């Protein structure tokens, strides 16, 4: 599964430009699904099974990035705006990759002056794409992603775009293990434009009209020095969401996941996230409403080029999702 994660995280696909990632995922899932649809917004919708409870599983293909907005006439440096939740503290000296493979480096005005101790405004940053001969085909209107390859450190995987390519990998691996055997009608939806407002999930949920939904995403960890006070930690297992700023998980959905994890002996932890949300926040309000929850992969350094996950947690998420989809949906009432 590490090879799959590597392939996905090193792919290029900022919000609104997910076509390369979609092609990779399509090739991976085709042997294991009954139907594939690409909707007008670009979501990849893959159906397995027919006639049972309709379950939507959502993992977003996009990643944060930048959009060039202006080319300085003399230097050729490119000014840019964010695509998604860009952290200014991560930018100086970082690299970006354009769709044609060009690598740029992010500079900042006065890096050893005020920029050394203060976080500069985005207008103070620029991208250097000079090639030494004064020519470049890059101008305003070009999207780019932050760029790094995947590295391993024991059971830890470090890469850009774990958010949410690792969720896509969890969905793909669950598809493989199901091998079309499910009593449910499951729609695996690889969504677009999550980082800019959950746009793909909202449209896909209206089309699928699920009975219940599961979002797959990353979540923060509470095990960093002076980090956020939360109980989720790397190596603690799958994180079953209870609450975040966009979603209050129905108790019946949360208990459905907890019961499955305990029945199958899968390590899990409960997630209460004070900042951020997932595709489930958009899915829950589709049509007349959809009971929605989320399974999260604990992750350090979210929205940087060094997002870090543990392979044991990834496996726990795959096992939990596969178990849920292999059995009939039972949601307690009352």
- Active-site residues, by number, are 194
Separation CA 320–CA 327 (nearest Å)? 11
DSSP 122: G
Closest CA to 34 of 44, 18, 47, 21: 47
Q: What is the CA radius of gyration of the chain?
A: 20
> What are residue 329's phi and psi, to 5 degrees?
-75, 125
Which residues fall within 8 angstroms of residue 226, CB to CB, at 6 or more apart?
none
302's tokens: 């979210």
Region of residue 36 (phi > 0: left; psi between -120 and 50: alpha; otherwise: beta): beta
DSSP 220: -
Question: Mutual orientation of helices 162-178 and 2-9 as an angle, nearest 10°?
Answer: 140
Length of the chain: 334
Sign of CA dihedral 88, 92, 93, 98: positive
Tokens 């970006």, located at residue: 96
Q: What is the β-pairing status of strands 151-153 and 156-159? A: antiparallel
């Amino acid at each position: 599964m590490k090879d799959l994660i590597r392939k996905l995280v090193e792919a290029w696909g900022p919000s609104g430009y997910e076509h390369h990632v979609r092609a990779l995922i399509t090739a991976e899932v085709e042997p294991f699904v009954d139907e594939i649809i690409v909707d007008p917004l670009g979501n990849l919708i893959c159906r397995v099974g027919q006639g049972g409870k309709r379950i939507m599983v959502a993992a977003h293909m996009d990643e944060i990035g930048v959009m060039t907005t202006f080319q300085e006439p003399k230097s050729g440096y490119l000014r840019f705006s964010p695509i998604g939740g860009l952290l200014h503290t991560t930018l100086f000296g970082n690299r970006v990759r354009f769709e044609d493979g060009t690598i740029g480096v992010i500079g900042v005005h006065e890096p050893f002056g005020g920029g050394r101790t203060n976080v500069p405004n985005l207008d103070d940053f620029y991208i250097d794409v000079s090639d030494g001969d004064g020519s470049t085909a890059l101008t305003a209107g070009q999207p780019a992603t932050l760029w790094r390859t995947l590295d391993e450190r024991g059971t830890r995987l470090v890469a850009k775009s774990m958010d949410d390519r690792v969720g896509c990998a969890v969905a793909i691996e669950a598809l493989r293990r199901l091998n079309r055997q499910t009593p449910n009608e499951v729609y695996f939806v690889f969504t677009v434009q999550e980082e800019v407002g959950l746009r793909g999930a909202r449209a896909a949920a209206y089309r699928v009209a699920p009975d219940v939904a599961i979002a797959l995403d990353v979540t923060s960890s509470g095990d960093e020095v002076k980090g956020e006070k939360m109980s989720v930690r790397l190596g603690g297992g799958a994180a079953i969401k209870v609450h975040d700023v966009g979603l209050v998980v129905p108790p019946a959905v949360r208990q459905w996941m907890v019961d499955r994890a305990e029945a199958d002996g899968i390590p899990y932890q409960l997630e209460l996230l004070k900042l951020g949300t997932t595709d489930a926040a958009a899915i829950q309000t589709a049509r007349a409403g959809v009971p929605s929850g989320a399974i999260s992969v604990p992750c350090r350094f979210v929205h940087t080029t060094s997002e870090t996950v543990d392979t044991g947690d990834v496996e726990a998420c795959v096992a939990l999702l596969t178990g849920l989809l292999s059995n009939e949906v039972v949601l307690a009432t009352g």
